[in-house]
Amino acid sequence: MVKLEFISKFKDVLTSAQTVKVLSFFAFTVILTAIISSQNFFFQNIIENGISKRDIIAQKTLIVEDVKRTEQHKKEVAQKIEPIMAPAEDDFIKGNLQTLQSSIMQIRRKDVEETVKKEEVGILFDLSDNSKRDFVINYLLKADDNSLHEVFDKSSLILTNILNAGITEKDYEKDNIDKIILNNLVSNVSKRQVSVITALLEQVIVPNLVVDEFATEIARKNAQNSVKPYEVVFQKGDKILFEGEPVTRLKRDALRQAGYNVYQLNWQGLAAIYIIVFIATALFLGFMKFFEKEYLEPRYLSISAVLSILLALIGVMLPVGFSPYVLPIPAFLMLMSIFTNPRVALVASVVLLSVMAAGYQYNIQFIVTFLILTLFSVILMSQIKYAKRVDLIKIGFNISIAGIVIVLSIYILEKCLIDVDNVLILKDVSFIFLNGILSSIITLGSLPLFESSFKIITSYGLAELGDHNQKLLKRLQIDAPGTYHHSLMVSNLCEAAAEAIGADPILARVGALYHDIGKLKRPLFFVENQSYFLIENPHNKFTPRISKMIITAHPKDGIEIARDKEYKLPQVIQNFIIQHHGDGLASYFYNQAVKEEGAENVKEEQFRYAGPKPNTKETAILMIADAVESAVRSLKNPTPEEIEAMINKIIVERLNDGQLSESPLTLKDLKTIASTFSRILRGMQHNRIKYQENLAEELQKQKINMPAKLDEDLENKIKQLEGEKKPEETPKTDEDKNA
């Protein structure tokens, strides 16, 4: 018994809505991961542990670059490039010499003992040869001023020559300073002066040429780019691989060019791809939860998953090396925009593009192109009015043009840095152009299939349902013409009001056209059809309770007709049928019952519709429009004030009765709806000119009020009219009278 109870609970957990959502999430991520990573396992069919399992023969001539040899040659060429030197600040070195000379002159002028002066001058010099050191110090302290200034001047001149020639780090490291000084001596320098000048310059000379790393790197890159790649040619019929041969880098590249997928993915890589897919999917669902909650329904998530899987499959099936610019990402975005909205489509496209770019190793140019193109496409899709399907073709063409501009711009930028094959540019530009147009064609062709598969009605589907030649609407025209005319009037009101408050005008119009199809079951029991068929009101023979049952049954009857296999109206239209009266009161029959049975014997609940109440803006608009149109039609020659008062009265009644409590309409929306209805109904109820039965007599009566100068013309007009009248005039038809 305990075991059965445990199994029952476990079954309930497995079938719960939350469990189904979690399982669906993991199923999608696993499937998408399997698709993206599947291409990496094909290589295992011909290679095992880096050894070929069979002979692979080239089916066409292949020219393959030996990357390893090319890279080795490039390294050798780069190493031969000498570093490019750039001059440093020479003024700093010259300043050091000036400072040294000034220090010597100050020491000479000090009034101290000779030994102190020698000690201070000795601190200024770092000379390993003591005899040379003593000679230099004695010379600097005892030489006359003219001789000393001559040495200083020659030292400055020699330093300038040395700096102009330049000293590198290499020269400095070789301890070559003495040779450099001797090689740059000026004329008329005595041997005594040479030693002193050398000692002075050794203290200040440092390298004034440093390596320009950037210029050197550019020179090496240019040298590497000038290296022609080593190429190996496999003629058609040649063996790319022998059975048992190790697969080198060259052979892998040849296999890739031959159409084989040569990526190997271990389990760590597979886990990494799954993590990327998992995070991307979770982020998308998080966006939907916080910003687009209405599209978290299973049908919308299902179509998003299917479209993502189809696009991933196309990416896998593309031949290796084939341009990814043919991927129908614009078609994915268009379909997502139509079935959800452009914001959801943008996020879905960016997330999927990121996952595919990581899994398929797409280059940055492709990613940038489609990111920019996605933003452009979303803007276009947000402006579409869904009136004509050809608009999608126009959007596809605009996407193609934008794609060409983006791809060309990226390649122009690349050509400034590296050499790009013009044939490659032409191919990619052609592919991106065809992609936009073919994406729009794919979207148009697949729309009906996805609509029927996922039971999602799009704006295009709604436009088709709104065609008055639809079988059900034609039946309504013939069997219940009064109801049909009423539905037309209500649909005009709903469409205008929905557009005014930012709801879906197409959905509101089409839903209003079908809202009363339940009256087709008993059309003669509804007053709008009785006058057309010239019959007596059958409710005069029934009690109020029976009449109420007949009248309030039409929403339920409408649902039965809508679900009939012949019509199969979508759920979103069925909502209009079942909700347009909510659980409102059938007040006419309720009041009749109160009169006949007494208020104490009649309860309001017995005379209410079954519901439910409207739960969307569009169905709530229909409830108000349905009541307003009928009420205003019952008024005889209403004034604008009377129309407005009737509209406000009905809205207040619906509010007080709680019929709008579940709809998202705000008081501001209701005010806008009321003003829109008032404007439309004033146009419907406009006064017409009353045509006179005898125009000639009327003109004769008005003759006395005419100015004298028009009297003659009026007389001629009267005679003309009297002459045209015939005694046996054919009676006017109803159609003529209506005209």
SS (H, E, C) 11-55: HHHHHCHHHHHHHHHHHHHHHHHHHHHHHHHHHHHCEECCEECCC
- Looking at the predicted structure, is the pLDDT value of residue 594 above 90? yes
pTM of the entire predicted model: 0.63
Stretch among 98-102, 206-210, 330-334, 483-487 having the lowest mean pLDDT:
206-210
Take residue 582 and report the two structure tokens written for it: 């909510």
What does each C-alpha distance from 163 to 89, 90, 197, 206 come to in angstroms? 10, 7, 15, 9
User: Which residues make beta-bridge pairs with 51?
Assistant: 48, 246
- Looking at the predicted structure, is the pLDDT value of residue 127 above 50? yes
275 and 358 in a common domain: yes
Residue 236 lies in a domain: no
Task: Write the DSSP string, 127-162.
Answer: -S-HHHHHHHHHHHHHS-HHHHHHHHHHHHHHHHHH
442 and 492 in a common domain: no
Structural domain of residue 200, as residue ranges? 85-211
CB of 250 closer than 8 Å to CB of 260 = no
Residue 199 lies in a domain: yes
E strands, 495-647, are none
Q: Which of 169, 188, 211 is at the close of a domain?
A: 211
Task: Give the closest residue to 49 by CA, choosing from 257, 270, 256, 244.
Answer: 244
Measured CA angle at 551 (ends 549, 553), to 5 deg: 65
Q: Which of 456, 487, 509 is at the close of a domain?
A: 456
Q: Which of the four pLDDT bands, split at 50, 70 and 90, describes residue 705?
A: low
Residue 53 half-sphere exposure toward CB, CA atoms < 13 A: 7
pLDDT value of position 267:
74
Element (H, E) at 529: helix 527-533
User: Which residues make beta-bridge pairs with 57?
Assistant: 239
- Looking at the predicted structure, is the pLDDT value of residue 687 above 60? no
200 and 92 in a common domain: yes
Residue 229 lies in a domain: no
Residue 702 lies in a domain: no
CB of 589 closer than 8 Å to CB of 607 = yes
Instruction: Count the Cβ atoms, other than its own, within 10 Å of residue 436.
Output: 24
The helix-helix angle for 587-597 and 544-551 (nearest 10°) equals 160
Task: Write the DSSP string, 682-719.
Answer: HHHT---PPPPS-HHHHHHHHGGGS-GGGHHHHHHHHH
Instruction: Count the Cβ atoms, other than its own, within 10 Å of residue 65.
Output: 15
Task: Give the closest residue to 33 by CA, choosing from 273, 321, 370.
Answer: 273
Residue type, 104: I
389 and 355 in a common domain: yes
- C-alpha–C-alpha distance, residues 462 and 618, integer Å: 14
Q: What percent of the chain has pLDDT over 90?
A: 44
Task: Give the closest residue to 498 by CA, choosing from 405, 616, 602, 396.
Answer: 616
- Strands 209-211 and 56-57 turn out to be unpaired
Q: What percent of the chain has pLDDT over 70?
A: 81
Q: Which of the four pLDDT bands, split at 50, 70 and 90, describes residue 238?
A: confident
Residue with tokens 């709104």: 466
- C-alpha–C-alpha distance, residues 539 and 550, integer Å: 10
Residue 141 lies in a domain: yes
295 and 442 in a common domain: yes
* Residues whose CB falls within 8 Å of the CB of residue 109, separated by 6 or more in sequence, listed in order: none
pLDDT value of position 363:
83
CATH of residue 399's domain is 1.10.1760
Task: Give the closest residue to 670 by CA, choosing from 631, 624, 639.
Answer: 624
Q: Which residues of 653-668 are buried (b: 16+ CB within 10 A; e: fewer)?
A: ebeebebbebbebeee
516 and 423 in a common domain: no
Q: Alpha-carbon torsion 614, 615, 618, 620, what sign?
A: positive
- C-alpha–C-alpha distance, residues 560 and 579, integer Å: 14
636 and 524 in a common domain: yes
Give one word for 690, left, alpha or beta, with left for phi > 0 and alpha for psi -120 to 50. Answer: beta
Residue with tokens 């001559």: 150
Task: Give the closest residue to 347 by CA, choosing from 327, 331, 333, 368.
Answer: 333
- Looking at the predicted structure, is the pLDDT value of residue 130 above 70? no
pLDDT value of position 433:
96
Average predicted confidence (pLDDT) for the chain: 82
537 and 434 in a common domain: no
647 and 518 in a common domain: yes
Q: Is cis: bond before 481, omega within 30 of 0? A: no
CB of 586 closer than 8 Å to CB of 539 = no
379 and 419 in a common domain: yes
Report the number of distinct structural domains present in the chain.
3
CB of 456 closer than 8 Å to CB of 302 = no
Residue 721 lies in a domain: no
Judged by DSSP in three states, 232 sits in strand
pLDDT value of position 320:
58
Task: Give the closest residue to 476 by CA, choosing from 514, 511, 530.
Answer: 514
Residue 512 lies in a domain: yes
435 and 386 in a common domain: yes
Q: Which of the four pLDDT bands, split at 50, 70 and 90, describes residue 36?
A: confident
Residue 44 lies in a domain: no
CATH of residue 575's domain is 1.10.3210
451 and 489 in a common domain: no
- C-alpha–C-alpha distance, residues 25 and 23, integer Å: 5
pLDDT, one tens digit per residue, over 330-376 is: 999 999 999 999 999 999 999 999 999 988 878 888 999 999 999 99
Task: Write the DSSP string, 433-461.
Answer: HHHHHHHHHHHHHHHHHHHHHHT---HHH
pLDDT, one tens digit per residue, over 154-184 is: 888 887 877 777 776 666 664 666 677 776 6
Take residue 86 and report the two structure tokens written for it: 């750039």
Q: Where are the alpha helices (DSSP H) in 361-470?
A: 364-383, 390-415, 422-454, 459-465
- C-alpha–C-alpha distance, residues 54 and 537, integer Å: 90
CB of 138 closer than 8 Å to CB of 122 = no
